[in-house]
Amino acid sequence: MNTTRIWVATAAAVGLIGLAGCSRDETADMSTQVDQVGAEMSAKADAAGERMDQVQADVGQALDDTAITTKVKSRFAESPAVSALAVSVETEQGVVTLSGTVPSETERLSAESIARSVAEVRDVKNELAVKS
């Protein structure tokens, strides 16, 4: 937030320069206005900083979710018990959703077990259908 301080200081300095040739009442009014502008700028900068923090958190979560999906799919590819091509994997906030159609209940349960074995996975929603 050093940028905020610079902007507030700049606004105050500009205001003070303008005050140099003014009467006492005009100086007090302008000083109050400068203070208000500085407070508004500071509040807006803080709000922008909070939004940036949220954006960074959202991007971080999206990257984490992508990494989890990749790990689950990689384990499926390594496993003879699950067809990696038949199972779709989506991750949102650490919750993995499995979808698609598999040939047996055994493969459906194996896919869920493999997904749960990835350390970062918080939960698994198994929406796999078994071919009849």
- The 10 Å Cβ neighbour count of residue 123 is 11
Phi-psi region of 98 (alpha: psi -120 to 50; beta: other; left: phi over 0): beta
Q: Residue 129: what pLDDT?
A: 96
Q: Which domain holds residue 63?
A: 2-130
Q: Which residue pairs, CB below 8 angstroms and at least 24 apart, start in 9-16?
A: 11/37, 11/38, 11/41, 12/38
Q: Which helix (H) or strand (E) holds 52?
A: helix 24-78
How confident is the prediction along the chain (132 residues), in pLDDT tens digits per residue? Answer: 566 666 566 666 655 555 555 566 666 677 777 778 777 887 777 777 778 877 676 666 766 888 899 999 999 999 999 988 999 999 998 999 999 999 999 999 999 999 999 999 999 999 999 997
Give yes or no for a contact between 98 and 124, defined as CB atoms under 8 angstroms apart: yes
Cβ-proximal residues to 37 (8 Å cutoff; 6+ apart), any chain: 11, 15
pTM, two decimals, is: 0.59
Which helix (H) or strand (E) covers residue 13, if one does? helix 2-19
Q: Which pLDDT score, from 0 to 100, does residue 38 have?
A: 77
Q: Domain tally for the chain?
A: 1
pLDDT for 124? 97
